[in-house]
A = this chain, B = another copy of it.
Amino acid sequence: MEIRTPIPVSEAVSLVMEHAVRGSSEQIPLEESYGRFLAQDLVADHDVPPFDRSPYDGYAVRSVDTAGLSGDNRAAFQVVGEIGAGSVFEGEIGYMQAVRIMTGAKLPEGADAVVMLELTKPLAGSKVELKREMKPGENISFRGEDTRSGTVLAEKGSFITPGLSAPLAAFGYAEVPAAKKPVIGVLATGSELLNPDEPLEDGKIRNSNTYMLLSQIKRAGGVPLYLGKFSDDLDQCTEAVQHALAKVDVLLTTGGVSVGDYDYLPDIYKRIGASVLFNKIAMRPGSVTTVAEHRGKLLFGLSGNPSACFVGFELFVRPVIRFCCFSRRPHIRKEKAVLGSDFEKANPFTRFVRGTVVYEDGVIKAVPSGFDKSSAVSSLADANALIVLPGGTRGYKAGMKADILLLDDQKGSDRPWENTAPSFR
């Protein structure tokens, strides 16, 4: 039997990233940009606001004319015009003149303050009564006070949030330069697998990995392409892999990666001439995760066990997709949390426990989300994080701090695997 030497997670991730490639860019309609990744920096090409404007409905005046005004010393100003938002006042405000101005309208020439409508009283003969001294610049939204022309509002590779849609629109991106989504193929192997719509049979289980991966691919930013389910037959699987490679940017297979008699993936890699980067990682679950490279394309041999498959994807495939989408922090986001329960059993390998992160009065706490075996399906349902428990000779106690990896995050981490182990032992 083949003896495999496990390598550390950090080394495995580095090996994978050596073969990750940047993708290409495409123009997409602004209204479809939510959830995509920016293909270039978003730079302000003009000041925001683009002109001095009024933040309120009221009257634009020259502050100098309001000197000394108070409730006991009111004055009548001549209303010489009205500016709706979007309109521009022609001419200049003069001595003791006011212009009725709406929220968002450009301040007229000569004016340097806006009196709120609530503090004014209309008088006969197109006049308005004011009763307060205004400071120069009072109630004005100044040109550029929000954003100066030239400011980088979001860097290349940023996830496009709803909040980013606003500046994209403001700076004229009717079409947004976005990272083209890489196509990630999924090929399931295993004679025990039934389709979700098939009735259960003795000895068989339904294929859950594929559907989980299709969703994981979407969350990571790729386009999933399901290429079918194959029995444990070497010739058939080899052909399937070869066909698949022509259609995808990255190929994921599930199952067949172990050292058993029915685990054909090592043979398939050999047959097609792919070079194996590694086939054993010092981690649980997913130690048999195998990654190979073939003519510039990465092939991920993920475990057939759901939890192992899930973890393998998030650690190794996600960063490849995010890197392709120009992210500068392609890895799953790593943060510290307080352990909410004991993990008594020591493990020589680094463990990634499906966990639920809860916030307790400003503190981040992580608890396991359920049954913890590589084959587990149920613990995935509630997991929003992976709890990282570095391998060693001792277990972990509730209250200790540990690294967590945030599954739903879109910001990412730069190099999450530096200093994982020593940081909390």
Give A residues with C-beta under 8 Å from B.
1, 30-31, 33-35, 42, 44, 46, 48-51, 55, 57, 82-88, 100, 102-106, 117-118, 141, 145-147, 151, 153-154, 160-174, 190-193, 195-197, 199-200, 202-216, 218-219, 224, 226, 232, 258-263, 304-306, 310, 335-338, 354, 359, 361-364, 371, 373-378, 380-384, 401, 407-408, 410-411
Whether B197 and A362, one on each chain, are in contact in the complex, defined by CB atoms closer than 8 angstroms, is no
CB contacts (< 8 Å) of A173 on chain B: these are: 196
Cα separation A118 to B49 with both chains bound (whole Å)? 70
| Majority secondary structure of chain A interface residues (helix, strand, loop or mixed) | loop
Contact present for A212 and B169 (CB under 8 Å): yes
Q: A55-B373, A86-B191 are in contact. Are A382 and B163 (CB under 8 A)?
A: yes
Q: Given A162-B215, A260-B102, A375-B141, are A196 and B208 neighbors across the interface (CB < 8 Å)?
A: no
Hey, which chain B residues are within 8 Å of A161, CB to CB?
215, 219, 381, 383-384, 407-408
Most chain B C-beta atoms within 10 Å of own C-beta, residue among A31, A103, A371 = A103
Chain B residues lying within 8 Å of A375, measured Cβ to Cβ, are 49, 55, 104, 141, 146
Please tell me how many copies of the chain the complex holds.
2
Q: How far is the CB of A52 from chain B (nearest CB, A)?
A: 11
Given A196-B172, A211-B31, A260-B117, A153-B362 contact (CB < 8 Å): no
Cα(A410)–Cα(B86), bound, Å: 38
Give Cα A195–Cα B171 distance, bound, in whole angstroms.
Answer: 10
Contacts of A310 in B (CB 8 A): 162-163, 166
Query: Across the interface, do A214 and B34 meet the contact criterion of CB distance under 8 Å?
Result: yes
Kindly state the separation between the CA atoms of A335 and B378 in the bound complex, as whole angstroms.
26
A145-B193 Cα distance, complex, nearest whole Å:
19
Residue of B nearest to A197 (CB): B174
Give CA–CA (A265, B173) in the complex, Å.
Answer: 29
Q: Which chain B positions have C-beta within 8 A of A258?
A: 57, 103
Q: Which of B87, B336, B373, B408 contacts A203 (CB 8 A)?
A: B87
A-B contact pairs, 15 of them (CB 8 A): A48-B377, A57-B263, A84-B262, A85-B190, A85-B203, A86-B192, A87-B191, A100-B261, A104-B304, A162-B407, A166-B310, A170-B206, A172-B200, A337-B362, A361-B401
